[in-house]
């Protein structure tokens, strides 16, 4: 880790984590507690981030100095392709409300979370930051991608016109504690943890996976993402968004085998090729953040062992969310 003096130390600052109940937001809260910040949160029951006036009023009253914008409507390939209006509207409006209010309230630093799906479906791999807007998007998640591209552009526009120190980070596929384990709505990592655990518990010999198992993905442990975001908040200020990944890719089949091993289940996988594969490959070029001095500390096996343990420990007694009986 770099020993350069920090550009923007977080210690002692009033920091709002928008989306603190989600997987990424809760990891950021955990990470910030170690940083000695005054962490602010507000629940969905108290404030709807899609209402501009409410967001402005809350921010004017609480006066955060820093914002981590982790609030979003998120989900896996099925959720993305079947709820396009929610993925586009919710994410656009949450970002515009928070970014604009942050400008109006004089927020000193804002870190917006995007996604690796902002890059073209057939982008050259690994995907560097400058491949943004160079080709057509992956159709299964283009609504979410368009909203996240708008988020990057919002940060750039408010920096150019008003001099706001707003930055954007693009995490690759995430997994870890606090994930959404719903089999229809969740991402592949959480769905496979839930399915494989269910098979182990019931003695089933087969688990069904969507698609062909061939697509390649890069998985980042969510606490590593939180660490990278704190790193960027304190050390980076610039218009360009920054990729956050591991540089290591695995096939969906390989992921399933890894989770089976971690869970101690030794059955077989069946592939339902009527379900979509989505992007064939999504590996990010992480050299920009690496050059600043950050690389992901958790290896895939340790990360999935922690994620699986968390799932087992936090499973509501006798139930498996999203699994039909
Ligand atoms: O995480 P995921 O749902 O989305 O992974 P993306 C989808 C890949 O996993 C496809 C396969 O190749 C699926 O065919 N897969 C196999 C499964 N079994 C399952 C299963 O049980 N559940 C799920 N969900 N997939 C996401 C975007 O794309 O990438 C998000 O949906 C976000 O918006 C994220 O941008 C980074 O990796 O395709």
Q: For every one of its 325 residues, what pLDDT tens digit does the chain have, with 9 covering 90 and above?
A: 556 789 999 999 999 999 999 999 999 999 999 999 999 999 999 999 999 999 999 999 999 999 999 999 999 999 999 999 999 999 999 999 999 999 999 999 999 999 999 999 999 999 999 999 999 999 999 999 999 999 999 999 999 999 999 999 999 999 999 999 999 999 999 999 999 999 999 999 999 999 999 999 999 999 999 999 999 999 999 999 999 999 999 999 999 999 999 999 999 999 999 999 999 999 999 999 999 999 999 999 999 999 999 999 998 654 454 443 2
Which residues are CB-contacts of 68 (< 8 A; sequence separation ≥ 6)?
15, 16, 17, 18, 25, 28, 32, 110, 111, 113, 229, 233
Stated pTM of the model: 0.96
Distance 77 CA to ligand 1 centre (A): 4
Asked if 236 is an active-site residue, the reply is no
pLDDT at residue number 3: 66
Of 198, 208, 199, 288, the C-alpha closest to 252 is 208
- CB of 252 within 6 A of ligand 1: the answer is yes
pLDDT at residue number 2: 57
Name the residue of 80, 187, 250 whose CB sits within 8 Å of the most ligand 1 atoms, as the mutation to test its pocket: 187
pLDDT at residue number 315: 84
Q: Which of 144, 158, 236, 308 is labelled catalytic?
A: 144
Query: How far apart (Å, rounded) are the C-alpha atoms in residues 79 and 90?
Result: 14
């Amino acid at each position: 880790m770099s020993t350069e003096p920090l550009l923007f130390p977080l210690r002692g600052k009033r920091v709002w984590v928008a989306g603190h109940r989600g997987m990424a937001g809760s990891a950021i809260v955990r990470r910030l507690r170690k940083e000695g910040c005054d962490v602010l949160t507000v629940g969905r029951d108290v404030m709807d981030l899609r209402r501009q006036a409410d967001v402005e009023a809350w921010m004017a009253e609480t006066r955060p100095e820093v914002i981590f914008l982790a609030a979003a409507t998120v989900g896996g390939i099925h959720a993305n392709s079947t709820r396009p209006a929610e993925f586009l509207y919710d994410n656009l409006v949450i970002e515009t409300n928070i970014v604009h209010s942050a400008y109006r309230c004089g927020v000193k630093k804002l870190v917006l979370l995007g996604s690796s799906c902002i890059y073209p479906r057939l982008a050259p791999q690994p995907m560097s930051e400058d491949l943004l807007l160079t080709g057509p998007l992956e159709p299964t998640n283009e609504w979410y991608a368009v909203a996240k591209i708008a988020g990057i552009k919002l940060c750039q526009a408010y920096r150019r016109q008003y001099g706001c120190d707003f930055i954007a980070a693009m995490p690759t596929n995430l997994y870890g504690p606090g994930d959404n384990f719903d089999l229809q709505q969740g991402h592949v990592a959480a769905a496979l943890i839930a399915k494989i655990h269910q098979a182990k518990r019931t003695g089933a010999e087969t688990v069904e996976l969507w698609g062909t198992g061939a697509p390649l993905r890069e998985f980042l442990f969510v606490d590593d993402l939180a660490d990278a975001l704190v790193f960027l908040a304190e050390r980076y200020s610039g218009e360009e968004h920054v990729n956050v990944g591991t540089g290591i890719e695995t096939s969906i089949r390989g992921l399933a085998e890894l989770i089976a091993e971690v869970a101690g289940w030794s059955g077989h996988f069946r592939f339902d090729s009527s379900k979509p594969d989505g992007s064939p490959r999504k590996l990010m070029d992480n050299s920009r953040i690496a050059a600043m001095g950050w690389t992901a500390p958790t290896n895939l096996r340790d990360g999935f062992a922690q994620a699986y343990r968390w799932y087992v420990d936090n499973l509501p007694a006798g139930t498996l969310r999203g699994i039909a009986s």
